[in-house]
Amino acid sequence: MFDRDHHEHLGQIKSRLFGYAYALTRDAEQAADLVQDCMVRGMSSRNVPREARAFRAWMFTILRNLWIDQMRSSRRERETCAEIEHSQADPPATPPEEVVVNRLAVRQAFLRLSKDHRDVLALVDIAGFSYEEAAEILQVPKGTIMSRVSRARSMLSQILGEMQVIPLSRARQGMRNG
């Protein structure tokens, strides 16, 4: 059962829980609902991990499981058909170092990633989990996390390249020529 320590732990991770929920749902309102449902599920549980690290992983696992339940129920899988499917064999069309990275473009590209790629990148880059912790949550070996993170970033670079994010100077030149 939740006690004062758990509430303190929760306060420390709430914004990251929301970030993870947003990465999964791609919608702020749905993310807020997911966090709230996660909180009530956690608070109603009898066996709540006491140690902060275990508590954090436990809450993220609850949130992820709730999201999976929602996905199954609402059959949003169909909607994700439009997502870019990842393939380990396909190298990025544009080398990552040549992609012009800006936050807005990354945000748009991230939301176009497959749910599996968003899932693992959100755990590592947004929630701040180590590979070992992410492996615990996703119940896969640590090496798998390393591969998945790499593939997700590779795909992200590819999407950014396809979005044709070009330097402003080149864009201006194109306008003059056109």
Partner 1 sequence: MAEDDLPFETLSAYVDGELPADEAARVAQLAAAEPRTARRLAALQQLRAGVASVPPEMTELPRPPAPPRQRGRMPLFGAAAAAVLALALGLGWWTMTGTGQQQTGPTSFAAMLASHDAWQEARSAAVPAQWPVSAGLSPARTSELMAATGLELVHSEIVTLPGGTRARHSGYLGSRGCRLSLFEIPRDGETPDLPPTPFSQSDDVLQASWHTDAMRYVMIARDMNSVRFATIADSMRAAAQASARQERELLASLENARQRCLV
Q: What residues line the site for partner 1 (CB under 8 A)?
A: 1-7, 14-15, 18-19, 22-23, 28-29, 31-33, 35-37, 39-41, 43-46, 66, 69-70, 73-74, 95-99, 101-103, 105-107, 110-111, 121-122, 124-126, 130-131, 146-147, 149-150, 153-154, 156-157
CB of 178 to partner 1, least distance (A): 29
CB of 20 to partner 1, least distance (A): 8
Nearer to partner 1, 132 or 174 (CB): 132
As a whole number of angstroms, the distance between CA 147 and CA 18 comes to 25
Nearer to partner 1, 15 or 87 (CB): 15
Q: Dihedral through CA 8, CA 34, CA 136, CA 83, nearest 10?
A: -140
Nearer to partner 1, 88 or 173 (CB): 88
Nearer to partner 1, 36 or 173 (CB): 36
Q: Which two tokens stand for residue 122?
A: 């959100």
Residue 168, CB half-sphere, CA atoms under 13 Å: how many? 1
Q: For residues 148 and 105, is the Cβ–Cβ distance under 8 A?
A: no
CB of 62 to partner 1, least distance (A): 10
CB of 172 to partner 1, least distance (A): 23
Query: For residue 123, what are the CA distances in angstroms to 83, 127, 130, 166?
Result: 19, 5, 8, 29
Nearer to partner 1, 75 or 176 (CB): 75
As a whole number of angstroms, the distance between CA 105 and CA 87 comes to 22
Q: For residues 152 and 113, is the Cβ–Cβ distance under 8 A?
A: yes
